[in-house]
Amino acid sequence: MKPDWGIRGANKRPHRQAPSSMAGSPKSLPQRLGNPVIGIIGSGDFSRSLAIRLVASGFSVVVGSRNPKRIPKGLFPDGVELRSQREAVDSAERVIFAAIYPEHYSTLVGLRDGLAGKVLVDVSNATRLDDGELSNAEQLAELFPQSRVVKGFNVISAWALQTGAHDGSRQVLICSDCSDSKATVVQLTRRLGFSPVDLGGLVASRDIEKAPLHLFPSWEGATLVTFLLFLFFYGYNVVKHVLLPYLAHGEHNFYQLPLETVNQTLPAVALILLGLVYLPGLVAAVLQLARGTKYKRFPSWLDRWMCRRKELGLMSFLCAGVHAVYSMCLTLRRAAGYRLLNAAYRQVKAGVENSWEEQQVWRSDLYLSCGILGLGVLTLLALTSLPSVGNALNWREFTFMQSGLGYAALTLSIMHTLFFGWDFAFFPEAYRYYLPPVYLLALILPCVVLVGRVLLALPCLALRLAKIRRGWESSRHRPSHSQGQEITSGRVSPQNFGDV
> At how many degrees (to 10) do helices 356-384 and 309-329 cross?
140
Sequence-distant (≥ 6) Cβ neighbours of residue 355 within 8 angstroms: 344, 347, 348
Per-residue pLDDT, averaged over 299-311, amounts to 93
CA atoms within 13 A on the CB side of 211: 20
Residue 77 — very low, low, confident or very high, per pLDDT cuts 50/70/90?
Answer: confident
Residue 451 — very low, low, confident or very high, per pLDDT cuts 50/70/90?
Answer: very high
- pLDDT on residue 338: 56
- pLDDT on residue 82: 92
- For the cut 50, the answer to whether the pLDDT of residue 1 exceeds it is no
Supply the mean pLDDT for the chain.
82
DSSP string, 96-121: EEE-S-GGGGGGGGGGHHHHTTSEEE
CATH code, 219-470: 1.20.120
| 3-state SS class at 457 | coil
Domain ranges of the chain: 37-213, 219-470
Rounded Cα distance between 138 and 150, Å, is: 9
Q: Which residues does residue 175 pair with via DSSP β-bridges, in sequence order? A: 151
Residue 447 — very low, low, confident or very high, per pLDDT cuts 50/70/90?
Answer: very high
pLDDT tens for 198-213 read: 999 999 999 999 988 8
Higher pLDDT, 366 or 109: 109
Closest CA to 437 of 152, 163, 237: 237
Element (H, E) at 64: strand 60-65
| 3-state SS class at 129 | coil
Closest CA to 233 of 414, 444, 437: 437
Per-residue pLDDT, averaged over 75-97, amounts to 91
- For the cut 60, the answer to whether the pLDDT of residue 167 exceeds it is no
Element (H, E) at 233: helix 220-238
Residue 113 — very low, low, confident or very high, per pLDDT cuts 50/70/90?
Answer: very high
- Which pTM does this prediction carry? 0.72
- For the cut 70, the answer to whether the pLDDT of residue 17 exceeds it is no
- For the cut 50, the answer to whether the pLDDT of residue 429 exceeds it is yes
Phi/psi for 251 (5° steps) reads: -75, 135
Higher pLDDT, 160 or 319: 319
Residue 350 — very low, low, confident or very high, per pLDDT cuts 50/70/90?
Answer: low
Higher pLDDT, 180 or 484: 180
Rounded Cα distance between 239 and 236, Å, is: 5
Q: Give the fold, CATH level 3, of 37-213.
A: Rossmann fold (3.40.50)
Phi/psi for 148 (5° steps) reads: -105, 100
Higher pLDDT, 364 or 86: 86
Question: Can you list the alpha helix ranges (DSSP code H) found in 292-403?
Answer: 300-307, 309-329, 331-349, 356-384, 387-390, 395-399
Element (H, E) at 411: helix 405-421
Per-residue pLDDT, averaged over 2-9, amounts to 43
**How many percent of the chain have pLDDT more than 70?**
80
Burial 387-420 (b: 16+ CB within 10 A, else e): eeebeeeeeeebeebbeeebbbbbbbbbbbbbbb
Q: Are 91 and 26 in contact (CB under 8 A)?
A: yes
